[in-house]
């Protein structure tokens, strides 16, 4: 009996001790660990979910909206809270335009959070809210819209459902356009499933930056209309037109056909969405003779007295290379003007293969241009170690080498601007919501590729292409045009060799020829019925220039005000090649006098300093206010010139606009 009392007493003390320990623990947690436990509790059932912010606007160069964002609401459901699933699916189907079976399937899922439809318009959202269905909820998001639809679609690109950039500028500048992500709090259950979302105000608010493209909306529209017209006329499978400013490298238009409506991406196959101007490679054909000409002139391998006989073909290493006609005896200028393959090959065969390769590499072939768009390809320029006896003559007429439309256009710009290879610009600046400039993109000179005297002489030859040769249909009545036609056979990727009846027709030109403001390239892929570049592509060049003149005639500088780099004389070609391999046609003065730059725009300063072979650095924006060296001081080739600019003020306006 006594043992029984002892056991009861021991058991009592154990219970009492445990109870006191529990009370002590609770007191400790309540009094000393209150804040910590509260935070831990909240973190266990409240989580943050990222949602899309208002994406920045994309403008053209004249601040016209090309891409913007509007408010929208996305519909989600908590399936466990919906009791009449069949009726709910039937009710929602007309509003969401989704089959009842698909909605019903989602409502039957063992989940606490299911998206039913993303980014509904305001009208549909209001109608769904009026249904007052338990278990449905809305989250505010932003929907991307493109007010111009197809315009510049390959440049602008598009976004996915979560507002992430997928193509074009939307992808390349995704981080700047998107900005930091907003977050909302969601409640989760014990195993991590979402129960419901708090649809109130986000925890953060920060819109993305805006970007201003170099594209001119009107010029882009002109190019797209003319490109569609020529492709439909000749039943071509596609084409590209590019307009660049050769002085600063800005792309004013980049059009591809076929194009697509940016608001209906899902309606198009994937191959139509890529930017073919920078992704698709092709053999340039006779347009490449521009650079063969440059190599020949730089290396002085011919004279003015040389004549080239075209018999309609030439045999090299057992292979017959044909010309479009029997041209007879031609001077070198006539060879290029008439686009004679035989004459071009005979002149190019005088070149050392290393000199030819180095010249082509200097113009950027085989390398990326560096444009701020995704997906660019570099093309192919075979190293001389792999050259055969046919490689040089093939390269001379634009065969056996591949390039992109942008790469070829950029290289021609270096002829039009007097010898500077520039990085193509597609973006002018990045701004915030207050239109304050965050970053401004300046012209970038990659390298000087040839002396302005050589560029001037090539321009003279290319003017003959339009006035006397294969490019007559690119004639513009008010301004001189320099350009080159191209008709390249397309490679047969299955059988090898060239595909019968498949051509790539092109024309690249610039105007005014002696003070170019625009380089326009037209590429037509597999035209039917006609295929010569002078017949298919050249007239499109003329149409585009005519419409640009009607839109913005002051854009062109009159021929009477053109800048002369160096006088050209016919005797230049007969002078021997210099031992130092200098790319000049005759000796120039080693010293120049610094001109008066004050009050001039950045564009004009760039043009004024082009002939001096100097390294130019610009600072600020607006008009020129100071320079080193100063006005009247001597400058020498390769000297560094610094120019400072300031926003326009009254005194400067009086100076520049008397």
The model's pLDDT over 90-122, given as tens digits with 9 standing for 90+, comes to 777 877 778 877 877 777 777 767 777 777 777
CB distance 263 to 149 below 8 Å = yes
Residue 299 in any domain: the answer is yes
* pLDDT bracket for residue 656 (50, 70, 90): very low
Give me the pLDDT at residue 560, please.
Answer: 42
Region 630-643 average pLDDT? 75
Q: Which two tokens stand for residue 420?
A: 């500077």
Q: Mark whether 290 and 158 lie in a shared domain.
A: no
On the question of pLDDT at 325 being above 90, the answer is: no
Considering only residues 143 and 361, tell me which one the structure prediction assigns the higher pLDDT. Answer: 361
Q: Which two tokens stand for residue 235?
A: 């039943």
Q: Tell me 496's DSSP state.
A: S
Residue 439's nearest CA partner among 429, 449, 447 is 429
Residue 56's nearest CA partner among 423, 438, 396 is 438
* pLDDT bracket for residue 569 (50, 70, 90): very low
Give me the number of domains the chain comprises: 3
On the question of pLDDT at 575 being above 60, the answer is: no
* pLDDT bracket for residue 192 (50, 70, 90): very low
On the question of pLDDT at 529 being above 50, the answer is: yes
Region 19-30 average pLDDT? 73
Considering only residues 574 and 275, tell me which one the structure prediction assigns the higher pLDDT. Answer: 275
Residue 227 in any domain: the answer is no
On the question of pLDDT at 658 being above 60, the answer is: no
The CA angle 357-363-369, to the nearest 5 degrees, is: 125
**Measured between alpha carbons, how far is 319 from 326 in angstroms, rounded to an integer?**
18
Residue 143 in any domain: the answer is yes
Least confident of 40-44, 342-346, 348-352: 40-44
* The total number of residues written for the chain in this structure: 658
Region 358-373 average pLDDT? 95
Angle between helices 122-131 and 85-96 (to 10 degrees): 160
Q: What are phi and psi of 246, to 5 degrees?
A: -70, -15
Angle between helices 85-96 and 100-107 (to 10 degrees): 130
Q: Tell me 514's DSSP state.
A: T
Q: Mark whether 460 and 606 lie in a shared domain.
A: no
Q: Mark whether 596 and 498 lie in a shared domain.
A: no
262: preceding bond cis by omega (within 30 degrees): no
Q: Which two tokens stand for residue 489?
A: 């056979």
The CA angle 402-405-408, to the nearest 5 degrees, is: 70
Q: Mark whether 490 and 600 lie in a shared domain.
A: no
Say which residues have a Cβ less than 8 Å from residue 258's Cβ, sequence separation at least 6: 231, 238, 272
Q: Mark whether 194 and 79 lie in a shared domain.
A: yes
**Measured between alpha carbons, how far is 510 from 631 in angstroms, rounded to an integer?**
32
CATH number of the structural domain spanning residue 67? 3.90.1310.10
Least confident of 35-49, 111-125, 216-230: 35-49
Give me the pLDDT at residue 138, please.
Answer: 78
**Measured between alpha carbons, how far is 162 from 298 in angstroms, rounded to an integer?**
54
With tokens 């990659």, the residue in question is: 446
Give me the pLDDT at residue 126, please.
Answer: 76
Give me the pLDDT at residue 88, please.
Answer: 77
**Measured between alpha carbons, how far is 427 from 517 in angstroms, rounded to an integer?**
18
For 550, left (φ over 0), alpha (ψ -120 to 50), or beta?
alpha
Least confident of 36-40, 96-100, 579-583: 579-583
On the question of pLDDT at 294 being above 60, the answer is: yes
Write out pLDDT tens, residues 458-511: 999 999 999 999 999 999 988 899 999 999 988 777 777 788 889 999 999 999
Give me the pLDDT at residue 148, please.
Answer: 93
| DSSP secondary structure of 206-257 | -PPPEEEES--HHHHHHHHHHHHHHHHHTT-SEEEEEEE-TTT-BEEEEEEE
On the question of pLDDT at 332 being above 80, the answer is: yes
Residue 5 in any domain: the answer is no
Q: Which two tokens stand for residue 99?
A: 């089959």
Q: Mark whether 304 and 377 lie in a shared domain.
A: yes
* pLDDT bracket for residue 621 (50, 70, 90): confident
Give me the pLDDT at residue 37, please.
Answer: 59
Q: Which two tokens stand for residue 460?
A: 């003279």
Count H helices, E strands: the chain? 21, 26
Considering only residues 630 and 50, tell me which one the structure prediction assigns the higher pLDDT. Answer: 630
Write out pLDDT tens, residues 488-503: 988 777 777 788 889 9
Beta strands in 317-396, from DSSP E residues, in sequence order: 319-322, 328-330
* Residue 420 CA to its chain's centroid (Å): 20
- Is this prediction's pTM over 0.85? no
| DSSP secondary structure of 24-53 | HHHHHHHHTSHHHHHHHHHHHHEEEEEE--
Least confident of 105-114, 242-251, 263-272, 517-526: 105-114
With tokens 């792999």, the residue in question is: 386
Residue 423's nearest CA partner among 404, 447, 450, 451 is 447
Residue 619 in any domain: the answer is yes
- Percent of the chain scored above 70 by pLDDT? 81
Residue 580 in any domain: the answer is no
**Measured between alpha carbons, how far is 76 from 307 in angstroms, rounded to an integer?**
78
Q: Mark whether 512 and 613 lie in a shared domain.
A: no
On the question of pLDDT at 269 being above 50, the answer is: yes
Give me the pLDDT at residue 591, please.
Answer: 46
Sign (positive or negative) of CA dihedral 414, 418, 422, 424? negative
Considering only residues 436 and 583, tell me which one the structure prediction assigns the higher pLDDT. Answer: 436
Give me the pLDDT at residue 655, please.
Answer: 32
* pLDDT bracket for residue 228 (50, 70, 90): very high
Least confident of 64-73, 125-134, 330-339: 125-134
The CA angle 130-135-138, to the nearest 5 degrees, is: 60
Q: In which element (H, E) is residue 106 found?
A: helix 100-107
Considering only residues 107 and 49, tell me which one the structure prediction assigns the higher pLDDT. Answer: 107
Q: What is the mean pLDDT of the chain?
A: 81
Residue 467 in any domain: the answer is yes
Least confident of 26-40, 403-417, 501-515, 562-576: 562-576
Q: Mark whether 381 and 471 lie in a shared domain.
A: yes
On the question of pLDDT at 443 being above 80, the answer is: yes
Residue 55's nearest CA partner among 115, 145, 122, 140 is 145
CATH number of the structural domain spanning residue 329? 3.40.710.10
CB distance 81 to 135 below 8 Å = yes
Q: Mark whether 163 and 75 lie in a shared domain.
A: yes
Residue 295's nearest CA partner among 253, 217, 354 is 354
- Per the DSSP assignment, residues forming a β-bridge with 239 are 257, 524
* pLDDT bracket for residue 553 (50, 70, 90): low
Beta strands in 308-444, from DSSP E residues, in sequence order: 308-310, 313-316, 319-322, 328-330, 420-422, 427-431, 437-440
Q: Tell me 271's DSSP state.
A: G
CATH number of the structural domain spanning residue 601? 3.30.10.20
Least confident of 63-67, 267-271, 570-574, 639-643: 570-574
Residue 248 in any domain: the answer is no
Using the 3D structure, point to which of 213, 244, 260 is the last residue of a domain.
Answer: 213
Least confident of 191-200, 465-474, 580-589, 629-638: 580-589
Give me the pLDDT at residue 407, please.
Answer: 97
With tokens 């969405």, the residue in question is: 273
**Measured between alpha carbons, how far is 381 from 403 in angstroms, rounded to an integer?**
9
Residue 78 lies in domain: 48-213
Give me the pLDDT at residue 45, please.
Answer: 54
On the question of pLDDT at 172 being above 60, the answer is: yes
Region 510-535 average pLDDT? 92
Q: Mark whether 339 and 477 lie in a shared domain.
A: yes
Considering only residues 272 and 571, tell me which one the structure prediction assigns the higher pLDDT. Answer: 272
Considering only residues 118 and 381, tell me which one the structure prediction assigns the higher pLDDT. Answer: 381
* pLDDT bracket for residue 637 (50, 70, 90): low
Give me the pLDDT at residue 235, please.
Answer: 95
Write out pLDDT tens, residues 137-163: 777 777 888 999 999 999 999 998 777
Write out pLDDT tens, residues 384-435: 999 999 999 999 999 999 999 999 999 999 999 999 999 999 999 999 888 8
Give me the pLDDT at residue 554, please.
Answer: 58
Q: Mark whether 618 and 490 lie in a shared domain.
A: no
Q: Tell me 577's DSSP state.
A: P
Intra-chain end-to-end CA distance of the chain, in Å:
125
* Residue 225 CA to its chain's centroid (Å): 20
Region 116-133 average pLDDT? 77
Helix (H, G, I), strand (E, B) or coil at 88: helix
Q: Mark whether 502 and 370 lie in a shared domain.
A: yes
């Amino acid at each position: 009996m006594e043992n029984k009392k002892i056991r009861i007493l021991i058991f009592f003390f154990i219970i009492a001790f445990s109870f006191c320990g529990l009370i002590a623990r609770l007191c400790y947690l309540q009094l000393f660990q209150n804040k910590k436990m509260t935070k831990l509790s909240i973190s266990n059932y409240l989580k943050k979910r990222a949602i899309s912010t208002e994406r920045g606007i994309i403008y053209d160069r004249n601040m016209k909206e090309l891409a913007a964002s509007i408010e929208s609401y996305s519909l989600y459901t908590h399936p466990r809270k919906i009791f009449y699933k069949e009726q709910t699916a039937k009710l929602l189907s007309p509003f969401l335009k989704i089959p009842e079976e698909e909605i019903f399937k989602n409502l039957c899922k063992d989940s606490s959070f299911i998206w039913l439809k993303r980014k509904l318009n305001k009208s549909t959202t209001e109608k769904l809210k009026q249904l007052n269905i338990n278990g449905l909820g809305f989250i505010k998001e932003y929907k991307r819209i493109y007010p111009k639809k197809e315009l510049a679609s390959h440049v602008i690109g598009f976004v996915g459902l979560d507002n992430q950039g997928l193509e074009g500028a939307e992808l390349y500048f995704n981080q700047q356009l998107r900005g930091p992500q907003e977050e909302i709090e969601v409640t989760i259950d014990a195993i991590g499933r979402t129960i419901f979302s708090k649809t109130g105000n986000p925890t953060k608010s920060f819109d993305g930056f805006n970007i201003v493209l170099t594209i001119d909306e009107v010029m882009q529209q002109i190019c797209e209309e003319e490109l569609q017209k020529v492709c439909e006329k000749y039943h071509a499978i596609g084409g590209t037109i590019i307009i660049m400013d050769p002085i600063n490298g800005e792309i004013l238009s980049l059009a591809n056909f076929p194009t697509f409506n940016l608001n209906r991406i899902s309606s198009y196959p994937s191959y139509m969405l890529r930017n073919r101007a920078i992704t698709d490679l092709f053999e340039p054909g006779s347009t490449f003779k521009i650079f063969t000409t440059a190599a020949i002139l730089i290396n002085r391998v011919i004279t003015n007295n040389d004549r080239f006989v075209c018999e309609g073909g030439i045999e090299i290493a057992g292979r017959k290379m044909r010309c479009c006609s029997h041209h007879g005896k031609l001077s070198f200028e006539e060879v290029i003007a008439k686009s004679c393959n035989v004459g071009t090959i005979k002149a190019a065969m005088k070149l050392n293969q290393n000199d030819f390769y180095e010249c082509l590499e200097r113009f950027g072939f085989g390398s990326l241009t560096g444009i701020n768009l995704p997906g660019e390809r570099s093309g192919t320029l075979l190293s001389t170690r792999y050259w055969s006896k046919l490689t040089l003559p093939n390269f001379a007429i634009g065969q056996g080498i591949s390039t992109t439309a942008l790469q070829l256009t950029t290289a021609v710009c270096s002829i039009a601007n007097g010898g500077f290879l520039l990085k193509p610009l597609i973006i002018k600046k990045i701004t915030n919501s207050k239109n304050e400039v965050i970053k401004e993109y300046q012209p970038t000179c990659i390298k000087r590729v040839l002396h302005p005297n050589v560029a001037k002489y090539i321009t003279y030859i290319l003017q003959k292409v339009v006035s006397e040769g294969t490019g007559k249909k690119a004639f513009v009545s008010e301004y001189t045009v320099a350009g080159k036609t191209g008709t390249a056979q397309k490679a047969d990727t299955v059988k090898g060799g060239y595909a019968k009846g498949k051509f790539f027709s092109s024309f690249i030109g610039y105007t005014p020829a002696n003070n170019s403001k625009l380089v326009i390239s037209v590429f037509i892929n597999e035209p039917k019925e006609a295929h010569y570049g002078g017949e298919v592509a050249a007239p499109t060049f003329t149409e585009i220039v005519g419409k640009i003149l009607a839109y913005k005639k002051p854009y062109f500088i009159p021929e009477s005000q053109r800048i002369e780099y160096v006088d050209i004389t016919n005797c230049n070609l007969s002078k021997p090649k210099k031992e130092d391999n200098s790319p000049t046609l005759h000796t120039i003065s080693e010293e120049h006098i610094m001109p008066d730059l004050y009050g001039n725009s950045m564009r004009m300063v760039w043009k004024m300093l082009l002939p001096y072979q100097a390294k130019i650095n610009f600072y600020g924006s607006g008009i020129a206010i100071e320079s080193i060296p100063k006005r009247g001081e001597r400058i020498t080739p390769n000297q560094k010139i610094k120019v400072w600019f300031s926003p326009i003020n009254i005194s400067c306006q009086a100076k520049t606009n008397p």
